[in-house]
Amino acid sequence: MGRYRIHVATGAWLFSGSFNRVQLWLVEEFEQDVPQDLGPLQFVKLRKHPPWWTTPARLARNNTWDVFQKHREKELEERQQIYSWATWKEGLPLTIAAGSEDDLPANMRFHEQKRLDHEWSANAGLMEIALKYMYALLRSWNSLEDLDQIFWGQKTVLAEKVHQRWQDDELFGYQFLNGINPMLLRRSTSLPSRLVLPSGMEELQAQLEKELQSGSLFEADFILLDGIPANVIQGEKQYLAAPLVMLKMEPSGKLLPMVIQIQPPNTSSPTPPLFLPSDPPLAWLLAKTWVRSSDFHVHELQYHLLNTHLLAEVFTVATMRCLPALHPVFKLIRRAVTQLTYRSLCPPDDLADRGLLGIPSALYAHDALRLWDIIARYVEGIVHLFYHEDDVVRGDPELQAWCREITEVGLCQAQDRGFPVSFQSRAQLCHFLTMCIFTCTAQHAAVNTGQFDWFAWVPNAPCSMRMPPPTTKEDVTMDTVMGSLPNVWQTSLQMSITWLLGRSPLDMVPLGRHKEEYFSGPEPKAVLRQFQADLDNLEKEILARNEQLELPYEHLKPSLIENSVTV
């Protein structure tokens, strides 16, 4: 009589097991009901009582996964009933149709361990907010030194360095290359049209032209914020600006600001004031603070929320709707799962477009490219095991439906922004999958894990500004600076929330390490082992480099990159 050993692993999470009865069926055809070997086992049918989280059932013998097409179609029909699209805001990527976490499928919610950890951390953060707020009420909010009274509790080494050096021009420029938002800076190819130089600034224009000709002029333009109305918080009007910063790259690799325009020209102010490092110190400090506040908003809304979280949701919903669990791309992507263009999500293209290739001091760029290459080799290794030639890619209806679902549905007809509507080759498929995995892992780490490092000292990146931008330089006083910064409650809230968002969760699983196993064959496991070895080697390279740096760049250390988009 034939014997089959079947391994079923429950999910590796708190409360993910089951006390219910579990039944298994072995499905195969045979001519007569006699004790005999069934031959190669093709399929296992598992009945479970929800909610029981399991990892895929794994057989000791190889199976042919494409013989049960009807089962695959039925699985997708059921999934498409569970995972529906919804419009959150017109013009934004679609989201899953769910009003709250309770509306999500059970295995799409936070695991119990993550939920408890998140709730504990949130409660601890709220308690710290309350303590800091009550403590600060005993003192007036008149000087920058007053903020030291609430800069205690949760801290990091980098946060303390930012606290000590946030007023330095060198650190101001460094953040555009290697801070929490290294996505906006680009090399200038001409002087921006919005940069109106009034008479008397011929020397500045000559300096800008000189840096432009030598290829060392850079810019960060926050025009995206122009015209957006600011909030009213607790009855107090807040203010937004759309600054432009021009910076120069020194031979040493330092990036230093040359001029700041806080607001673009308009009919009421055709020649807005320009702020220079030679201006009165408080005026120059306030201008830089306006830039940092604008960077806070663009970072959180565009490069963090939109470019990682919302995109990851599109990838995930499309995957659940279009790819059955047996599909190799489902197994691969399931682990990682206007200005938004396809090229902007691919570091080799994005960094080339922004002129940031080959800059030794651009540490984000260096590490992002290394990670992209490592992920690309891993993806290629897996894809080539299942797609032996381009025709197989073109002839996979599930894969093509997945591509269309992402571009035409989830991303709202994004083909005009470079996203593909079909895959014509293995290379094109590998590039797209590398983008998906990089976005959901490395890129999210780059713009998330350092939030507390760079935002804990609130003057370095104020979450809100309570006074309008200055129109003159001579009238800026310490009262102007302090009156512009967030109040005590807003400051405490920013410190605690960025700690909560940027902290490493207790159940953190690093990139390349998986609690759940989707591929069981020896060939995919060999590809995964090489992927892990490549990541380990990169970790060693980054550690060795950082030992030589005053400000180590750690946001893309593989051991700190979560295996998926998390909180």
Longest CA–CA span in the chain (Å) reads: 100
CA dist list (Å): 294 to 38, 282, 455: 67, 18, 13
The pTM of the full predicted model, rounded to 2 decimals, is 0.83
The alpha carbon of residue 297 and the mean position of all alpha carbons in its chain are separated, in whole angstroms, by: 15
- Indicate the residue type of 419: F
Are 171 and 240 in contact by the 8 Å Cβ rule? The answer is no
pLDDT for 399 equals 94
H or E stretch covering 82: helix 69-82
pLDDT for 194 equals 96
The four Cα atoms 551, 556, 559, 565 give a dihedral, to 10 degrees, of 130
Enumerate residues 6+ apart whose C-beta is below 8 A from 187. Answer: 215, 217, 218, 354, 355, 356
Q: Whats the size of the chain, residue-wise?
A: 567
Instruction: List per-residue pLDDT tens for the chain, 567 residues long.
Output: 566 676 666 655 555 556 566 666 665 554 545 566 666 656 666 565 554 444 444 333 333 544 556 767 777 778 888 888 888 777 788 888 888 777 777 666 655 555 555 455 555 555 555 555 555 554 446 788 888 877 766 678 999 999 999 999 999 999 999 999 999 999 999 999 999 998 889 999 999 999 999 999 999 999 999 988 898 988 999 999 999 999 999 999 999 999 999 999 998 888 899 999 999 999 999 999 999 999 999 999 999 988 998 888 888 888 888 877 767 666 655 544 456 799 999 999 999 999 999 999 999 999 999 999 999 999 999 999 999 999 999 999 999 999 999 999 999 889 999 999 999 999 999 999 999 999 999 999 999 999 999 999 999 999 999 999 999 999 999 999 999 999 888 888 888 888 888 777 667 889 998 766 777 789 999 999 999 999 999 999 999 999 999 999 999 999 999 987 665
